[in-house]
Amino acid sequence: MDFAFSASEQRLRQELRDFLKEALPPDWQGTGSDISDDDFEFGQAFNKMLAARGWVAPAWPKAYGGLGATHIEQAIFGEELAYARAPLGGRVFGVGMIGPTLIVHGNDEQKAQHLPGITSGEVLWCQGYSEPGAGSDLASLQTRAVRDGDDYVVNGQKIWTTQAHQAHWMFVLVRTDTEVPKHRGISFLLVDMRTPGITVRPIVNMAERHEFNEVFFEDVRIPARNLIGGENRGWYVAMTLLDFERSSIGASAASRRTLEDLAQYAGDTRSNGHRLIDEGWVRQGLAERFLETEVARLMSYRVASMQQRGQMPNYEASMVKVFATESAQRMYNFGLKVMGMYGQLRQDSPYARLLGRIEQGYLSSVAPTIYSGSSEIQRNIIAQRGLGLPRD
């Protein structure tokens, strides 16, 4: 990996920063959270501004609404948007997951139907993987799809479905064969969320945000043409998607911005007659957290550089996922200690500091170490595929 950015990449980064200064309000304090946050409407408008420049998915081929940018350039886009706390506007599931997966596994008709809606910012997606009895052991899923003529008839339930209450489409794993080993009887379908028989119920998380949902399927008819990668081949399609999901650079950029805010707070706040930042444990803690954030950033760029060379990252993406999510937890835990009782106040409190961001981050940082494969699952992948260790 070349650690130096080219002149064109540096120009791109500056162009992005200039754009963000103009596109985001001067007092912008967005969370950079999922589209289910309070910035929903602005997030959609912001997506349209990106789409006008071809910046929703710049690394995609021009035929699908991208710019044909390199993977390193795509990472630069992700890093700058996350650092600016720009609204995601639903791009995570469309741009970061199903879009690249369709480019790899979809047929021409499927690509033509779905990719332009993602790059235009008009179509939102959600992910139907987890079930009440199938989380880390995803291959145990029981949502059933039975072929009936030109359709699959789907019955079952999905849970922890982020953005399902606002999504237009879902990519969903279903069981199409119960007579073979569990990994081999799964198929990958695309579902129009307006289809009769789909019920979405909200789940409010412990940060009091409505991001999750449970989704019920009752005799839902899905056209067979919405099958991706062939019947009973869904597990392999799903693993491709998870590799894309686990390699995001946004987590480290968001952490770096929060750490800068925390360092500024420690420099401005006095306790017992001196600044917080003058205390050794605060300086050392900030240094350790900044180092971890930079390591996570370089790991993400390593994944991007592998993709640019035509390689498919696997355990390398799992390494990013484990390290970035767990270091974010350590950062917010440290932030609470630095801020003391102020760190426990929410944004709506008149005494909250840093807009209550540390309290919200502390609560919200739990889920990322669980979804997309828990840290334990990621360590198994690293051990088996990276180190060549045997299964338990």
pLDDT digits (tens, 9 = 90+) for 199-254: 999 998 887 788 889 999 999 999 999 999 999 999 999 887 776 655 678 889 99
How far apart CA 258 and CA 365 sit, in angstroms, is: 13
The two structure tokens encoding residue 169: 């489409």
Q: What is the bridge-based pairing of β-strands 125-128 and 169-175?
A: parallel
Gyration radius of the chain's alpha carbons? 21
- Backbone φ and ψ for 95, nearest 5 degrees, come out as -80, -45
Q: Give pLDDT, residue 244.
A: 63
Name the pLDDT band for 36 (thresholds 50, 70, 90): very low
Domains and CATH numbers, the chain: 7-123 (1.10.540.10), 126-232 (2.40.110.10), 246-386 (1.20.140.10)
Q: Give pLDDT, residue 296.
A: 95
Q: Give pLDDT, residue 34.
A: 44
Q: Which helix (H) or strand (E) holds 275?
A: strand 274-275
The yes-or-no verdict on residue 41 having pLDDT over 90 is no
Active-site position among 245, 292, 316, 359? 245
Q: Give pLDDT, residue 39.
A: 67
Beta bridge partners of 275: 270
Asked if 245 is an active-site residue, the reply is yes
How far apart CA 247 and CA 372 sit, in angstroms, is: 11
| Assessment of whether the complete model's pTM goes beyond 0.75 | yes
The two structure tokens encoding residue 178: 């119960």
Angle (CA) 142-146-149 rounded to 5° is 165
Instruction: Tally the C-alpha atoms within 13 A of residue 363's C-alpha that lie toward its C-beta.
Output: 14
Percent share of the chain, pLDDT over 90:
64
The two structure tokens encoding residue 262: 């925390």
pLDDT, mean over the chain: 90
Kindly report each contact of residues 335-344 with a partner whose C-beta sits within 8 Å and lies 24 or more positions away, as own/partner: 335/258, 335/262, 335/361, 335/362, 336/362, 337/285, 338/262, 338/265, 338/266, 338/276, 338/282, 338/285, 339/262, 339/265
